[in-house]
Copies of this chain bind each other. A is one copy, B any other.
Amino acid sequence: MTKQEIIHDMLKASRQAARVLAVATTAQKDAALERIAAALRDRSAEIVAENQKDIAAAAEKGLSAALIDRLTLTPERIEDVARSVEEIVALPDPIGDVFDLKTRPNGLRVGRMRVPLGVIGIVFESRPNVVIDAATLCLKSGNAVVLRGGSEAANSNRVLGAIAAAAVGESGLPAAAVQVIGDTDRELVRHLLQARGLVDLVIPRGGEGLIRFVDQTATVPIILHYKGVCHAFVDKDADLAKALPIVENAKCHRPGVCNALETLLLHRDIVDDFLPLVAERLTTCGVALRGDKPSRVVAPQLDEATAADWDAEYLDLILSVAVVADVDDALAHIAAHGSGHTEAIITENYTTAARFLREADASCIVVNASTRFNDGGQLGLGAEMGISTTKLHAYGPMGLAELTTSKFVVLGSGQVRE
User: Residue A363 contacts which of B245, B358, B408 (CB distance < 8 angstroms)?
Assistant: B408
Q: Report if A380-B417 is in contact (Cβ < 8 Å); known contacts: A391-B118, A408-B363.
A: no
Least distance between A116 CB and chain B CB atoms (Å): 9
Q: Report if A200-B392 is in contact (Cβ < 8 Å); known contacts: A219-B219, A358-B96, A379-B410.
A: yes
A-B residue pairs in contact (CB < 8 Å), sample of 21 = A96-B358, A104-B380, A108-B369, A108-B378, A110-B379, A110-B380, A117-B392, A200-B391, A221-B392, A242-B414, A245-B414, A357-B409, A361-B407, A362-B407, A363-B408, A367-B410, A367-B411, A367-B412, A373-B410, A373-B415, A393-B393
Check: A44 CB closer than 8 A to any chain B CB: no
The reply to whether A412 and B369 contact each other, CB–CB distance below 8 Å, is: yes
Give A393-418 as 1s and 0s: 1 = Cβ < 8 Å from B's Cβ atoms. 10111000000011111111111110
Mark A residues whose CB is within 8 Å of B: 19, 22-23, 96, 102, 104, 108, 110, 113, 115, 117-118, 196, 200-201, 215, 219, 221, 239, 241-242, 245-246, 248-250, 253, 335, 357-359, 361-370, 372-374, 378-380, 390-393, 395-397, 405-417
Q: Report if A108-B373 is in contact (Cβ < 8 Å); known contacts: A200-B392, A391-B405, A417-B253.
A: yes
User: Residue A417 contacts which of B378, B416, B417 (CB distance < 8 angstroms)?
Assistant: B378
The reply to whether A245 and B416 contact each other, CB–CB distance below 8 Å, is: yes
The CA-CA distance from A158 to B335 in the complex, in Å, is 32
Q: Which residue on B lies nearest to A373, using beta carbons?
A: B410
The reply to whether B368 and A413 contact each other, CB–CB distance below 8 Å, is: yes
- Give the chain B neighbours of A391 by CB distance below 8 A: 115, 117-118, 200, 405
Q: Which residue on B lies nearest to A405, using beta carbons?
A: B391
- Give the chain B neighbours of A368 by CB distance below 8 A: 411-415
The reply to whether A221 and B219 contact each other, CB–CB distance below 8 Å, is: no
- Give the chain B neighbours of A373 by CB distance below 8 A: 108, 410, 412, 415, 417
Q: Which residue on B lies nearest to A340, using beta carbons?
A: B407
Least distance between A97 CB and chain B CB atoms (Å): 11
Q: Report if A358-B253 is in contact (Cβ < 8 Å); known contacts: A366-B412, A416-B369.
A: no
Least distance between A150 CB and chain B CB atoms (Å): 24
Q: Which residue on B lies nearest to A113, using beta carbons?
A: B357
- Give the chain B neighbours of A408 by CB distance below 8 A: 363-365, 374, 379, 396-397
User: Residue A366 contacts which of B113, B215, B406, B410 (CB distance < 8 angstroms)?
Assistant: B410
The CA-CA distance from A414 to B244 in the complex, in Å, is 9
The CA-CA distance from A249 to B357 in the complex, in Å, is 48
